[in-house]
Amino acid sequence: MQVGIYEFFRAAFVQSELRDLVTLGGLFGERRSLRALGLRLVTNHHLLSEDLFAKRVAEAARGEQAPPEVRAAIAGIAVGDPAFEESASAAVQRGGGAFGRAIALSLIDVSSREGPEVYRLIWRLSTPALRDGAGPEYDGARDDPDRWVLEAGPGRAELLASFYELEGHGLRRAGSALRLWQRQFEAAAAGDPQAARTEAVQRALSFLLPYHRAKEQRRAAYAPPPPDRGSIDLRWSAVAVLGIGLAVFAARLRRRRRSGGFPVGA
């Protein structure tokens, strides 16, 4: 589940309120709810962050020109993340033999803390169009991620370097996680390799089969919600009527003053 950052909420809230103001709460156009706008912003920026770094990694792997932070991240796979390896190894020792699960949970625990900063960086790097919750929907199968990154701006180079460096932490940890898993598996399989492989497969299936069955059940029972168009909010219409009434009253008041004031007894 992706939660997002305050910047997403603030942008969605402001855009939703401005839309209500322009349409008078939905009387003269479709409303945009805070939920719909927020989900679009989170999704767009999450996918952009993944695809942008993946594109740079693929370029570097092909031997093409790539940022130094990306080249360092790829080289760092072989070195790994010593701090993560230490914490993951400790978790494996406490895991009672379920070393795969212990490694995965350790990886999630460390990496999830970097998510908010990744979002903040990609938010500052994205184009204004992508920051519009009612604007385009990013499509990773069709869109070039570079299209949605600012071409210029103050601090752009520094922001990109920070983004690539932070994303590179994941590659280093992935290298550490795979090597740690392989060591644990080889140690477990030393006495009876076939039995260890069978146990590993059975353990994986005991988790994956119920997971996929539950997913298929949810998919079969899923009914898409109706379009989130929002109901008409009459408060905005009332504010508009009140504003018009005050404007008319003020205009009549000015005309009376120009004509010599109010009549006696008024």
Give the Cα separation of 153 and 123 in Å (integer).
Answer: 13
Residue 251 included in any domain: yes
265 Cβ contact partners less than 8 Å away, ≥ 6 residues apart: none
pLDDT the model gives residue 266: 46
Q: Are residues 123 and 236 in the same domain?
A: no
Q: Are residues 179 and 239 in the same domain?
A: no
Q: Are residues 86 and 51 in the same domain?
A: yes
pLDDT the model gives residue 235: 74
Residue 224 included in any domain: no
Q: Are residues 201 and 151 in the same domain?
A: yes
Q: What share of the chain is helix, strand, coil (3-state, %, to 5)?
A: 70, 0, 30
Q: Are residues 61 and 173 in the same domain?
A: yes
Give the Cα separation of 103 and 97 in Å (integer).
Answer: 11
Residue 265 included in any domain: no
pLDDT the model gives residue 3: 64
Structural domains of the chain, count:
2
Q: Are residues 82 and 173 in the same domain?
A: yes
Mean pLDDT, contiguous 10-residue spans, the chain (266 residues): 80 89 78 88 95 97 95 95 94 86 93 93 96 92 95 90 96 95 89 84 88 92 69 71 81 78 53
Q: Which residues of 195-222 are buried (b: 16+ CB within 10 A; e: fewer)?
A: ebeeeeeeeeeeeeeeeeeeeeeeeeee
Q: Are residues 177 and 141 in the same domain?
A: yes
Largest CA distance in the chain: 110
Q: Are residues 131 and 255 in the same domain?
A: no
Residue 154 included in any domain: yes
Q: Are residues 66 and 164 in the same domain?
A: yes
pLDDT the model gives residue 90: 94
Count of residues in the chain? 266
Q: Are residues 148 and 249 in the same domain?
A: no
Give the Cα separation of 23 and 244 in Å (integer).
Answer: 16
Q: Are 36 and 8 in contact (CB under 8 A)?
A: no
Q: Are residues 168 and 108 in the same domain?
A: yes
Residue labelled with tokens 């869109």: 143
Q: Is 149 helix (H, G, I), strand (E, B) or coil?
A: strand
What residue numbers bound the domain in which 51 lies? 6-218
pLDDT the model gives residue 166: 96
Q: Are residues 168 and 239 in the same domain?
A: no
The number of angstroms, rounded, from the C-alpha of 177 to the middle of its chain's C-alpha atoms is 24
pLDDT the model gives residue 229: 57
